Amino acid sequence: MKNKEVVKLLQEIGQLLELKGENPFRVRSYEKAAQNIAALTEPIEKFVSNDKLKTIPGVGEGIAKKIKEYLETGKLKYFDELKKVFPEGLLEILSVPGIGPKTAKTLYDELKIKSLAQLEKAAKEHRLSKLHRLGEKTEENILRGIQMVRKGGERILLSSALFLAKPIIKELEKCPDVKDINLAGSIRRKKETIKDIDILCTAKKSDVVMDKFVNLPQVKEILAQGETKSSIILDEDIQVDLRVIKPESYGAALMYFTGSKDHNIALRELARKKGYKINEYGLFKLGKRSGRVSPRGKGAGSAKPVRETRVAGGSEEGVYKKLGLQYIPPEIREASGEIEMASRNKIPRLIAQSDIKGDLHVHSRYSDGAGKLTEIAEKEKSMGLEWVGICDHSQSLRVAGGLRPNVVYEKIEEIKKINKKNKNFKVLCGMEVDILSDGSLDYDDELLSQLDLVIAAIHTGFKQSEEQLTERIISAMENKYVHMIAHPQGRLLGKREPYALNMEKVLKTAQKTQTFLEINAYPERLDLYDIYCRKAKERGILMGIGTDAHTLNQTENLCLGVAVARRGWLERRDVLNTISYNELIKTLGRKKRNVC
């Protein structure tokens, strides 16, 4: 699968074109194509073989041809020619968040900076801050950006990791020797980025499973093949570790390798206080007369062997229970109060995928999405949902096909007709309205009042001060027609830090104005993030999951939103997507009635 390579190629072409001063629409189409390919749930090669490349938004005739050439020959003449115009190393510099083509050019012209290492050196020596236009703050941001690029290279998005892991699990499950199998580590906890994929299983004969594992077609390199652990590198340069565990230890091992490390440390401490020992082999009662003598176990400073008896280990539930704890779902095993809550039986029933009835944020062909309204409705319906909020971009976001007011009215009419025809599925006419630099909205109240769903978002002016950005969001929330703030923190994982916001103020205003906050489930965003979801919940703020889908397949990313919600301890009642269409309409009307 070459999705990652193609994304990088298109992003780099976009950057070089921007540097050349090309038409911004052309630049944007490369960016958009790259973004949409990054979020694909299928290999790009499949789109080529099925002749479906042009169904991906942003991929027109020209880009499709380039992708084909690259996949067929491993090279792209157009890109090679384009690169010749610029110094080598420039692309590396452009990958640093906050360094756009203009800054890169200044750095080259004035300081002869041609590589990441030279850039880092210059920033550390404060040579950047002396340049015209670049202040100390930019210099700090650049240093942070360099770290992000380096870190970003080591970790992959949760969606990509799941995409790579699922077929491996499926293949191994087919092995008749395999009994239990599960993901562990950060991918099981659904962290937003993943370093490596951890898999655990039980098997009658470990060598058969290990053989199958290291011979999977997607394996690029075998790092190790052993009886209990094997490690491979996939074509995408991601490491996968498989451990074969004895059935009596499977639960304990799953807990240990799921982590988090801090959760494990806290559990170990609790176990110790209760007279147990916990490790990846099981939970053992210490000091009893009966039982085995620990092979390694000698009490600290004592010459007497410590006797230990296994009291649990086969299942996670069994281990938690013996420790006097309620079962703790993997997503909240982060040592953030879950153990104490579990000891008091206070772990809530977290929201589940099966609770979801709709998606609040999908783009259609009206702006920069690929699907027609009816196609989106059909797709969502086929996933068992009951409603969808179709929120296209507003007029000032021209590069993303923002809608002029008269077109919004056309969309309203079309949706009315669709809803009339459909009894069991409803489309909400929504818009993702830009919060402009001065905090005003991109449409007037008259138009906003006609919409079923208004989500407001910042797409420009990220470099404003914390005060300005916070004020922009606050003033949007103070508009009685704004239901929800989309991707409130504006980060792009591995590419752009969240913009400077005073989150306490944002949460306080959301609570006061009864504005909802989005959990944007676009793989690169996952924004609002878990810790703020939890804070929002504590304030009684309702959250809404939006996939921000630009293609039909991207609507399947709802599961990522559910993952973030679970990591944020959210329950069904905290999330708008779990209510029926009629309840939703009522809930959306509440702000207008109560607050403003």
Per-residue binding string, Ca ion, 321-340, x by CB under 5 A, is: --------------------
- Contact pick of 85, 265, 293, 595 for ligand DGT (by CB under 6 A): 265
260 upstream amide cis, omega within 30 of 0 = yes
CB-based closest residue to Ca ion? 185
Distance of CA 179 to the CA centre of its chain: 31
Q: Decide whether 35 or 182 has the Cβ nearer to ligand DGT.
A: 182
Q: Does 259 bind Ca ion (CB under 5 A)?
A: no
Interface with Ca ion (CB under 5 A), residue total 4
Rounded distance between C-alpha atoms, residue 565 and residue 545, angstroms: 8
Residues 6+ apart with CB under 8 A from 109: none
From the number of C-beta atoms within 10 Å of its C-beta (0-12, 13-18, 19+), residue 300 rates as: exposed
Q: Decide whether 198 or 527 has the Cβ nearer to Ca ion.
A: 198
Count of residues for the chain?
596
Residue 11: which H helix or E strand, with range? helix 3-19
**Minimum distance of Ca ion from residue 278's CB (angstroms):** 20
Residues 6+ apart with CB under 8 A from 528: 487, 488, 489, 517, 518, 519, 520, 536, 543, 564
**Minimum distance of ligand DGT from residue 264's CB (angstroms):** 3
Q: Decide whether 35 or 231 has the Cβ nearer to Ca ion.
A: 231
Which of Ca ion, ligand DGT, none does 260 bind, CB closer than 5 to 8 A by kind? ligand DGT
**Minimum distance of ligand DGT from residue 331's CB (angstroms):** 12
- Contact pick of 47, 86, 213, 257 for ligand DGT (by CB under 6 A): 257
Q: Give helix 136-154 / helix 116-124 axis angle, nearest 10°.
A: 140
Site for ligand DGT in 54-83 (CB under 6 A): none
Q: Give the ranges where 204-308 is alpha helix by DSSP (H).
A: 206-214, 250-258, 261-273
**Minimum distance of ligand DGT from residue 565's CB (angstroms):** 20
Question: In sequence order, what are the beta bridge partners of 403?
Answer: 394
Per-residue binding string, Ca ion, 183-222, x by CB under 5 A, is: --xx---------x-x------------------------
From the number of C-beta atoms within 10 Å of its C-beta (0-12, 13-18, 19+), residue 345 rates as: exposed
Q: Using H for helix, E for strand and C for coil, what is the string for 102-136? A: HHHHHHHHHHCCCCHHHHHHHHHCCCCCCCCCCCH
Query: Which tokens belong to 484?
Result: 């929800």
Q: What 3-state class would DSSP assign to 282?
A: strand
Q: Decide whether 263 or 411 has the Cβ nearer to ligand DGT.
A: 263
**Minimum distance of ligand DGT from residue 154's CB (angstroms):** 9
**Minimum distance of ligand DGT from residue 74's CB (angstroms):** 30
**Minimum distance of Ca ion from residue 220's CB (angstroms):** 18
From the number of C-beta atoms within 10 Å of its C-beta (0-12, 13-18, 19+), residue 539 rates as: exposed
**Minimum distance of ligand DGT from residue 183's CB (angstroms):** 10
Q: Do 429 and 360 form a contact (C-beta atoms < 8 A)? A: no
- Contact pick of 57, 58, 97, 259 for ligand DGT (by CB under 6 A): 259
State the amino acid at position 324 in one-letter form.
G
Site for ligand DGT in 180-209 (CB under 6 A): 185-186, 191, 194-196, 198
- Contact pick of 95, 141, 159, 260 for ligand DGT (by CB under 6 A): 260
Q: Decide whether 195 or 495 has the Cβ nearer to ligand DGT.
A: 195
- Contact pick of 26, 46, 112, 261 for ligand DGT (by CB under 6 A): 261
Per-residue binding string, ligand DGT, 472-501, x by CB under 6 A, is: ------------------------------
Q: Does 264 bind ligand DGT (CB under 6 A)?
A: yes
Provide the CB-side half-sphere exposure for 480 (13 A, CA). 12
**Minimum distance of Ca ion from residue 256's CB (angstroms):** 12
Interface with ligand DGT (CB under 6 A), residue total 14
Which of ligand DGT, Ca ion, none does 596 bind, CB closer than 5 to 8 A by kind? none
DSSP code per residue over 363-379? --TTTT-SS-HHHHHHH
Q: What is the radius of gyration, based on Cα positions, of the chain?
A: 26
Binding site for ligand DGT (CB under 6 A): 185-186, 191, 194-196, 198, 256-257, 259-261, 264-265
Binding site for Ca ion (CB under 5 A): 185-186, 196, 198
